[in-house]
């Protein structure tokens, strides 16, 4: 049971992200996906840019597909680096920060993706969201 | 202000849909979009089929793009009927029930889409969701 | 552990499908996906048509997304039926027989999709494949 | 007969790749395609990342379409180099190592693509796979 991400889990993660975004005064899009990259919960705050609906969701999906935070991919996809061009695979991935895996008892159960602020803000909201995953 | 759909509005609509789905014992996907068809809130209940993530969202988008409930489209897209093939336009639309526009003071402000049950169940949950739109 | 589909599980399912296809003398494409619809094992036998690479995989994905055999969808998507147009959602689904969920201990762990013969042959090979899922 | 890639050939190539991946302790996705770039055999090992389902297949397809190992493309697609932007053609190609053509008697009969480890690991598994092509 604890091996899969429930809707209640996803809502807790989502709401923690929204609360932190409100605290820092930056409207955000927050997406929570399961371990297959399928959407479980999503919210767009008032004033958050619309491009980030897709970007936040794609960050979450990327984190699941790569089993890594999207920020870890940034150096790898630069010109000359090992995975240059990676973003154009697997249906389109995002290689800048804001996507973080959700891990419980060592098992990847999903991911959260945040977008609409600076990358630093997106990452801080994603970290707050991930920290709220019920045990 | 009341002319546009806030995140709080969308959450109220979403949660009313989820509550009704729980009442009738049918896990659902519920999507709420704004008047541009862009996602504002989404939830997938435990056990709801994954195909309906896309179908619920697409029903909501279709309702905005057509300014009509998706159930109204069903007779129009049958072989021989006036809009046969409509579903293949506009990026892909859905012509069976479960998408309903959100209207406030006579203005279309968005739509809700529900999927994972029978069409009758989907429509009843969408109606419960729409009825919860704050005035 | 038994809740997820291992590569060994998928290979057992695949090879049982290939063996049955050889028995009935019909070259087939056989795809095995996990519970997120992600490919785990695939084989195309000599002489099997190439269109069925996609069709077999899509049947398996459809079975996961709909949590149902694709044959069960056939009556539902006909003109005038409840889900007319369903195939055009969720990235493209297939609504004729040959996709069957893999279920272990009551939990959907993936699906198999078979294509290249008649629908009756595809279903019989998919049934043989599913029956080989290790317990 | 020896001019085309049989399923038995593809399985031999696939299994040699899987064996080498197990030896080096890196779970991999391995795809084998024919000379038209159509999938013949595929396997995802337990723990291999899901993004690499697409990447491994795309590496194999790229190797067939370019008649070259994907590692040979890496310098050519960098900013300022001759084929900058190549990856965005032909339906999406991959220009980092792990795809290698299968050649028999001087004739290109297909390709193998490997992904989920470092590029160096991917290449070493692809080389082990290619070496197993029956004569």
Give residue-wise pLDDT tens across range C14-58: 999 999 999 999 999 999 999 999 999 999 999 999 999 999 999
* Inter-chain touch C80–B77, beta carbons under 8 Å: no
b/e code A82-110 from CB counts within 10 Å (16+ = b): bbbbbbbbbeebbbbbbbbbbebeeebbb
The Cα D37–Cα D59 span in angstroms is 10
pLDDT at residue C115 is higher than 60? yes
D45 touches chain C (CB under 8 A): yes
pLDDT recorded at residue D1: 46
* Inter-chain touch A53–B39, beta carbons under 8 Å: yes
> Which residues in chain A are contacts of D49 at CB distance < 8 A?
65-67
* Inter-chain touch A85–D77, beta carbons under 8 Å: yes
CA distance B133 to chain C (A): 27
In angstroms, what CA-CA distances link A65 with A72, D48, D49, D72? Answer: 13, 10, 6, 26
* Inter-chain touch A50–B38, beta carbons under 8 Å: yes
pLDDT at residue A58 is higher than 50? yes
Q: Where are the domains of chain A?
A: 7-131
pLDDT at residue B114 is higher than 90? yes
CA distance B99 to chain C (A): 14
Which tokens in the block code for residue D37? 């770039």
DSSP D40: E
pLDDT at residue D7 is higher than 90? yes
Tens digit of each residue's pLDDT (9 = 90 or more) over B39-93: 999 999 999 999 999 999 999 999 999 999 999 999 999 999 999 999 999 999 9
The mean per-residue pLDDT over the stretch D8-27 comes to: 98
Q: Which class is domain B7-131?
A: alpha beta
Tens digit of each residue's pLDDT (9 = 90 or more) over C46-58: 999 999 999 999 9
Local confidence band at C98 (pLDDT 50, 70, 90 cut-offs): very high
The mean per-residue pLDDT over the stretch A61-89 comes to: 97
D107-115, strands of its sheet edge to edge: C99-104, C107-115, C29-34, C39-44, D39-44, D29-34, D107-115, D99-104
D35 touches chain A (CB under 8 A): no
End-to-end CA distance of chain A: 11
Tens digit of each residue's pLDDT (9 = 90 or more) over D61-113: 999 999 999 999 999 999 999 999 999 999 999 999 999 999 999 999 999 99
The Cα D54–Cα D48 span in angstroms is 12
C58 touches chain D (CB under 8 A): no
C83 touches chain D (CB under 8 A): no
A90 touches chain D (CB under 8 A): yes
> Which residues in chain A are contacts of B61 at CB distance < 8 A?
none
pLDDT recorded at residue D46: 98
What rounded mean pLDDT belongs to chain C?
Answer: 97
Which tokens in the block code for residue A97? 């920060």
pLDDT recorded at residue C2: 52
CA distance D49 to chain C (A): 10
A1 touches chain B (CB under 8 A): no
* Inter-chain touch C82–B119, beta carbons under 8 Å: yes
Backbone angles phi, psi at A106, to 5 degrees: 80, 0
Report the residue of chain C nearest B47, measured CA to CA: C67
Which of the other chains make 3 or more beta carbon contacts under 8 angstroms with chain C? A, B, D
pLDDT recorded at residue B2: 55
Which tokens in the block code for residue D14? 């696939």
The mean per-residue pLDDT over the stretch A30-49 comes to: 98
Position with higher pLDDT, D103 vs B3: D103
Report the residue of chain D nearest C53, measured CA to CA: D39
In angstroms, what CA-CA distances link B4 with B35, B103, B128, D99? Answer: 8, 10, 20, 51
pLDDT recorded at residue A1: 40
SS3 state of residue B21 = helix
pLDDT at residue A2 is higher than 90? no
Residue of C66, C84, C91 with shortest CB distance to B96: C84
> Which residues in chain D are contacts of C44 at CB distance < 8 A?
7, 38-41
């Amino acid at each position: 049971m604890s091996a899969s991400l429930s809707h209640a889990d996803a809502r807790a993660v989502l709401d923690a992200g929204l609360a932190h975004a409100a605290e820092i005064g930056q409207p955000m899009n927050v997406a929570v996906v399961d371990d297959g990259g399928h959407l479980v919960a999503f919210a767009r705050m008032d004033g958050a840019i619309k491009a980030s609906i897709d970007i936040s969701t794609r960050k979450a999906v990327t984190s699941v597909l790569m089993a890594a935070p999207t920020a870890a991919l940034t150096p790898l996809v630069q010109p000359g680096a090992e995975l240059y061009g990676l973003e154009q695979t697997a249906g389109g991935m995002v290689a800048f920060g804001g996507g973080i895996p959700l891990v419980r008892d060592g098992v990847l159960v999903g991911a959260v993706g945040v977008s609409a602020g600076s990358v630093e803000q997106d990452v801080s909201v994603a970290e707050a969201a991930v920290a709220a995953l019920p045990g």
